[in-house]
Structure 1
Amino acid sequence: MNTEVKSAARVLDLLEYLAGCSEPVKLKEIVAALGFPKSSAHALAQTLVSRGYAIQDATERYVLVHASRHQSASRALEARLLSAAHPIMEQLRDETGETVMLAVLTVRGDCRRIAKCVSRQAVRYDIELDGLSDSYCSATGRVLLAHWDPALTDGYFARAHLVPRTPKTITDPGTIRGMFETIRAEGIAVSDEEHVTGSTGLAAPIWGREGKVIAALNLGVVTLRYHARANELAELLRNGARRISERLGHKSSPNPAILATVPRPPRALSDG
């Protein structure tokens, strides 16, 4: 006897379908893919939205929120963040031609990616959303650490294993800490082939209504393309992060310390 509850099975089918979609999908695409009646598909999708498991963007497309299980408060916060960020991420992807990602910091100081809009170019940067990434050698992590509580940042460096991910990875804690003031002043961090060979990351902070950095917007760029248009990409990224912050209720003000050029990554110090 089939003991599967039909409505529960449909919810799981919808979750699994959305988890496999690299782009937001319309209701008619859900109906076509899963064979649900339109009214049922709409009700199920709206239930996921109301519970914070998915968001519906301005064009009425659905996208899954990639959050940990049993963390409903965190999931609701991420749903609001994604709702504000996703249309800007898509626009930034189309403006730059590069992959755009959104990430937050865990309580231990690691980066957790929660959304991405992958470049449509044949040669592009891409990475799975599942799992954590090292903050010390990624642009995203450095932006978030630079705006984190200093005591928590001290704790992160005390327990993190700073190992070279590539020949260019900077592993000296003092050098990395020395970047933070510049990152805060210029509103951007750059990791040039320190995390993945052949890829350059740029990241800018996203500010919440309360005036604290709550996430980072990242561009993952093929290094050869990055060096040809570094300043342009940096300005587009800053603008995207500012617009997301404003959509979240942050009142931004001009920062005279922000420069028109990209900061040059410092040379690695010898560990010997």
Structure 2
Amino acid sequence: MNTEVKSAARILDLLEYLAGCAEPVKLKEIVAALGFPKSSAHALAQTLVSRGYAIQDSTERYVLVHASRHRSATRAHEARLLSAAHPIMEQLRDVSGETVVLAVRTTRGESKRLAKCVSRQAIRFDVDLDGQSDSYCTATGRLLLAHWEAGLANAYLARVPLIARTPKTVTDPDAIRALFLRIRAEGVSVCDEEHVTGSTGLAVPIHGRDGSVVAALNLGVVTMRYHARSHELIAMLKQAGRQISERLGYRQDTRQEADSVA
């Protein structure tokens, strides 16, 4: 006897479909792919949005919130972050030609990737959203550690084996702490072939309404392309970071802006 509940099966089908989509999708694409009636597909998609499992962007496309297995408060926070970030991430991917990744810091100091917009170039940087990376030698991880409480960041450096992933990896704890100071001063983290040879990562902070750093916005670039246009890419990334922060309610005061120009 078939005991499958039709509505439950459909919501799972929709979750699995969205999980396999590299880009946000329109309702008509969901209908075409899954064969649901339009009204049912819309109701199911809106249920996912209302419960924080997915977001609907400004062009009414749907995208799944990564790691939606976590508790509701986390889902809601990540959904708001993704809703603000995703259109800017797509714009940055298109103007820079490079891969864009959004990540947050876990309670243990690791980076958790929430979303990516992959470069359309033939040779490009890509990353598994569920994959692991070392915070001490990646642009995103270092930026999030640099904006963490000093005691917690030091505890992370003491706990994690600082292994040289490439000949360029910085593994001395004091040198890494010096990099944290530089990251906070310059507003950007750069890891040039420290995690993967041939790949350069850049990351900037995303600020919440209260000014705290709630996420990192990353550009993953083929190293040869980075060195050919490093200043341009950093400027693009910083601008995108400011736009996302503003969409989250962050406002930088006039004095801070003047100091950054000086």
Q: Same fold (TM over 0.5)?
A: yes
CA distance in 2, matches of 1:256, 1:171: 35
Letter in 2 for 1:31: V
Q: Which amino acid aligns with 1:55?
A: I
Q: Give the conservation status (yes or no) of the 8 Å contact 2:104–2:114.
A: yes
Cα distance, 1:258 vs structure 2: 4.5
Count residues with an aligned counterpart: 260
Gaps of 5+ in 2: none
1:172-183 correspondence to structure 2 within 5 Å: 172-183=172-183
**The structure with more helix, counted as a fraction of residues:** 2
Partner residue, 1:129? 129
Query: Contact 1:242/1:252 (CA < 8 Å) preserved in 2?
Result: no
How do 1:29-40 residues align onto structure 2 when only pairs under 5 Å count?
29-40=29-40
C-alpha spacing 1:217/1:10, structure 2 compared with 1 (3 Å): same
Deviation at 1:161?
Answer: 0.9
In the TM superposition, what is the alpha-carbon distance from 1:171 to its structure 2 partner?
Answer: 0.7
- What amino acid is the match of 1:115? A
Tell me how far apart the structure 2 counterparts of residues 127 and 167 of structure 1 sit (CA, whole Å).
21
Residue type matched to 2:44 in 1? L
Q: Give the alignment of 1:23-62 within 5 angstroms.
A: 23-62=23-62
SS at match of 1:136: helix
Counterpart for residue 102 of structure 2: 102
Q: Which residue of 2 aligns with 1:143?
A: 143
Which residue matches 1:119? 119
Amino acid in structure 2 at the alignment position of 1:71: R
- Provide Cα deviations, 1:31-68, integer angstroms capped at 9, x if missing partner: 00000000000000000000000000000000000025
How far 1:131 moved relative to its partner? 3.2
Q: Which residue of 2 aligns with 1:66?
A: 66
- The offset of 1:167, in angstroms, is 1.4
State the partner residue of 1:232.
232
Letter paired with 2:183: I
Alignment partners' CA distance in 1, 2:60 and 2:260: 36
Alignment match, 2:200: 200
Per the alignment, do residues 64 and 106 of structure 1 end up closer, same or farther by CA in structure 2, a change over 3 Å counting?
same
CA positional deviation for 1:194: 0.5
Runs of 4+ in 1 over 3 A off after TM superposition: 253-260
CA distance in 2, matches of 1:54, 1:68: 8
Inter-partner Cα distance in structure 1 for 2:90 and 2:205: 17
Residue 164 of structure 1: how far off its partner (Å) = 1.0
Q: Aligned residue for 2:252?
A: 252
| 1:160-202 Cα distance to aligned partner (Å, 9 max, x none) | 1110111111111110100111111111010000011110000
Distance 1:257 1:95 in 2: 28
Write out per-residue CA displacement over residues 221-252 of structure 1, whole angstroms, 9 at most, x where no aligned residue.
00000000000000000000001000000112
What is the identity, as a one-letter code, of the residue corresponding to 1:104? V
- 1:202 aligned counterpart, secondary structure: strand
Distance 1:153 1:202, change over 3 A: same
Task: Find out whether 1:188 has 2:192 as its counterpart.
Answer: no
Deviation readout 1:102-160 (Å, 9 max, x if unpaired): 00001000111110000000000001101332110000011111110111111111111
Give the Cα separation in 2 of the matches to 1:93 and 1:258.
Answer: 25
- Whether the 8 Å contact between 2:53 and 2:68 is mirrored in structure 1 is no
Structure 2 length normalisation: TM-score?
0.97
Work out the percentage of aligned pairs sharing the same amino acid: 73
Residue ranges of structure 1 left out of the alignment (5+ in a row): 261-272
**CA distance in 1: counterparts of 2:167 and 2:33, whole angstroms:** 45
Residue pair 2:99, 2:116 contacting (<8 A) in 1 also: yes
> Counterpart in 1 of 2:155?
155
Structure 1 window deviating more from structure 2 (56-65 vs 141-150): it is 141-150
- TM-score, normalised on structure 1? 0.93
The CA RMSD measured in Å over matched residues stands at 1.3
- Counterpart of 2:211 in structure 1 is 211
